Amino acid sequence: DQQVKQNSPSLSVQEGRISILNCDYTNSMFDYFLWYKKYPAEGPTFLISISSIKDKNEDGRFTVFLNKSAKHLSLHIVPSQPGDSAVYFCAASVTGNQFYFGTGTSLTVIP
Amino acid sequence: DAGVTQSPTHLIKTRGQQVTLRCSPKSGHDTVSWYQQALGQGPQFIFQYYEEEERQRGNFPDRFSGHQFPNYSSELNVNALLLGDSALYLCASSPGRFGAGQVFGPGTRLTVL
């Protein structure tokens, strides 16, 4: 039962352009969402979060958008840099309890 | 600050054996969560320990058990290993009762032959 889905296994973007990673969820009780970045041989690293009371959160080049009615969130990276190449996971939870992760999207930023 | 540390890095076991994985949380963190990440999948929540008790558990059989020590470090034990238990096991620590602010360790790669 995959409650959090990332339907794009991979994404390639030119350096300097925008990267948009998407995530869908099915549980309407989810109220806290996070994005993690993962490099090979390392654990996931927290990137940015958003609670359900907001529809947008920005942190430097990273912006997360939440559309509760569509049960959809997206991560925008502008401008994309080669160092952003990694696997990105979205995760969702109810009040910060058990986190459900998507299957990840592998982002490649081409110099 | 060493962050979250896990040992061992890699482990090879055979079916039916038992394994123990270890995790030391980030300094100042008292909650430890364990995840299983199979190849090509996202991390799946196994359980969470807080105040030396299992507070939450995901959809994993009783073969998976754990422990948290007074210094907040934790162990994950898996009995009667199956081939399907082969995965990356991630430990994450966080401050306080809930999982917000989780910091992940590098993981232990378990291979069951």
- Each residue's pLDDT expressed in tens, for chain A with a length of 111 residues: 689 999 999 999 999 999 999 999 999 999 999 999 999 888 999 999 999 999 999 999 999 999 999 999 999 999 999 999 999 999 999 877 788 999 999 999 999
For A78, the 3-state DSSP assignment is coil
- A66 vs B12: CA distance, rounded Å: 42
**Which segments of chain B have a pLDDT < 50?**
none
pLDDT at res. B75: 98
CA distance B15 to chain A (A): 25
> What local confidence, expressed as pLDDT, does residue A33 receive?
94
The first and second tokens of residue B87, run together, are 């995965």
Residue B34: its chain A contacts at CB < 8 A?
Answer: none
Distance CA(B65)–CA(A3), nearest Å, equals 24
Q: How do residues B76-104 score in pLDDT, each as one tens digit?
A: 999 999 999 999 999 999 987 666 678 99
Q: How far is A80 from chain B (nearest CA, A)?
A: 23
Residues 6+ apart with CB under 8 A from B57: B46, B47, B48
As a whole number of angstroms, the distance between CA A1 and CA B92 comes to 23
